[in-house]
Amino acid sequence: MAYDKMNGDIREEQQKDPKEFLWQGLVGETRVKEPGQLAGNPFQIESCLNCTLVILDQTASITIDDCRDCLIICGPCKGSLFLRDCKNLLILAICQQFRTRDCRHLNAHLFCTTCPTIEETDLEVAPLLLNYCGLQSQMHAAGISPFSNRWNQVHNFTPDSGKCNVRQNLNPRITNSFNSHLIQKLEHFLFNSKNWQFSMGNKRESKLFVAGLGIKKGEGQNGEEEKFLLLIQPPPNENSSESGGGMRFYAESIGITKELINLEGIKLAAMHDIDMKQGEWENIICGKKENNNLKNIIGNKSRKIVALEIYGPKGSQTKIEEICQQKERKATNARLVDSEHMENCRKQLYRLCEIRQSI
């Protein structure tokens, strides 16, 4: 019940139909939830066959049970995306957690901020490059950073069951090697999705990033390429956690990263999104003499840091610095760590990330 101050009467609040948050028993259908229709609520998909099911909105969680021969596309999921008892699915998903149990013939193109976990599942996992209207704001609302992606760090809870098979496909483009029937479903959806400007597999258009693609073992250490460490931080007086601040920070950080990876020969080797707490950096470097010069590189205040490790041809530094120094940006400071301190700074930052992951 709600009280209307304008006319003094009491009116019933309109409650959404629970069926709006459920697709159940569908056969051969195409269903789409457009941006704004779910607005962060949980969603369920149950017992669907031969369908194209698309969620272009943020959700709290998604549960997919007993589905067969379906293409499923899921926008940012703040919590867990859980598949159970499914077979022959092609799934494109952005989520905090990806979990499966008792599934067969899954092909998942993922952007996942934590390690995907499987139980008794046959899975082919691949990176996801994706964009559509409203994706960036949905990711921000769901608390998903475009710079935190562990799609390939799959943890198998049942390695001895004999029912698990995990394969990695490093190609973000979906090819006909999987299932031509589901590929046709995806191609049909892409052809008819112009209203949402939906695209996938294209790094120039994607608002998601995948580190390590196209990098061979030992690359960046052979003397033919240079290695760079780029730090993106809010300006000293800017608080990225304030209303709108984080959104602006990520929008500019995405813009910087896209410009960098579109440079000829530039490769994104690794990326980290770190919420640095006051005093934490000083604790990490532990007052060691060799770390004294690192104090001013990061600073000792609470602030967000996006760290990008980049490989590029010799002579790339000037072009990278030009991108960093563009004056129209108001919510970010981007700068390269000097070569003398880069490796030590990288090690200490990654050490902090490892500590965070182990907690």
pLDDT band with cut points at 50, 70 and 90 for residue 349: confident
Is 316 assigned to a binding site? no
Is 70 exceeded by the pLDDT of residue 243?
no
Longest dimension (CA), the chain: 76
pLDDT of residue 296: 73
> For residues 269 and 164, what is the distance between their CA atoms, to the nearest angstrom?
29
User: How many whole angstroms separate alpha carbon 206 and alpha carbon 217?
Assistant: 25
Q: Is 21 annotated as a binding residue?
A: no
Return the closest-CA partner of residue 267 out of 338, 327, 198, 213: 213
CB count, 10 Å around CB of 318? 7
**What 3-state DSSP class applies to 33?**
strand
Average pLDDT estimate for 184-213: 86
Q: Which helix (H) or strand (E) holds 250?
A: helix 245-261
Q: What is the pLDDT of residues 327-344, one digit of tens each?
A: 788 889 999 999 888 998
Residues 6+ apart with CB under 8 A from 351: 284
Please give the average per-residue pLDDT across 125-141, as a whole number. 93
Instruction: Please tell me whether 99 is known to bind a ligand.
Output: yes
- Cβ–Cβ under 8 Å, residues 75 and 59: yes
- Report the alpha-carbon distance of residue 81 to residue 76 in Å, rounded: 10
Mean pLDDT score of the chain: 85
Residue 171 has pLDDT above 70, yes or no: yes
For 33-73, how does the pLDDT look when each residue is reduced to its tens digit (9 = 90+)?
A: 999 999 899 999 999 999 999 999 999 999 999 999 999 99
- How far, in Å, CA of 260 to CA of 266, rounded? 7
What is the reported pLDDT for 238?
63
80 is in an annotated binding site: yes
Q: What is the pLDDT of residue 286?
A: 65
Residue 356 assigned ligand-binding role: no
Whether 38 contacts 59, CB under 8 Å? yes
Task: Give the per-residue pLDDT at 280.
Answer: 78
Is pLDDT of 216 > 90?
A: no
Q: Over 50: is that where the pLDDT of 5 sits?
A: no
Helix (H, G, I), strand (E, B) or coil at 145: coil
- Tens digit of each residue's pLDDT (9 = 90 or more) over 176-196: 555 788 888 888 898 888 888
Element (H, E) at 115: none
At residue 11 the predicted structure's pLDDT band, cuts being 50, 70 and 90, is very low
Per-residue confidence band for 136, with pLDDT thresholds at 50, 70 and 90: very high
Q: What are phi and psi of 18, to 5 degrees?
A: -55, -25
pLDDT band of 214, cuts 50, 70, 90: confident
Please check if 98 is assigned to a binding site.
yes
Distances (CA, A) of 305 to 53, 334, 347: 36, 10, 15
Angle between helices 245-261 and 317-324 (to 10 degrees): 160
Q: Residue 35: its pLDDT value, please?
A: 93
Of all residues in the chain, what percent carry a pLDDT higher than 90?
A: 53
Helix (H) or strand (E) holding 298: helix 295-298
Q: How far is CA 40 from CA 13, 64, 79, 138, 210, in A?
A: 19, 17, 10, 9, 25
Quote the pTM value. 0.88
pLDDT above 60 for 359? no
pLDDT in tens, 253-297: 999 999 999 999 999 999 999 888 887 777 777 656 666 667 777
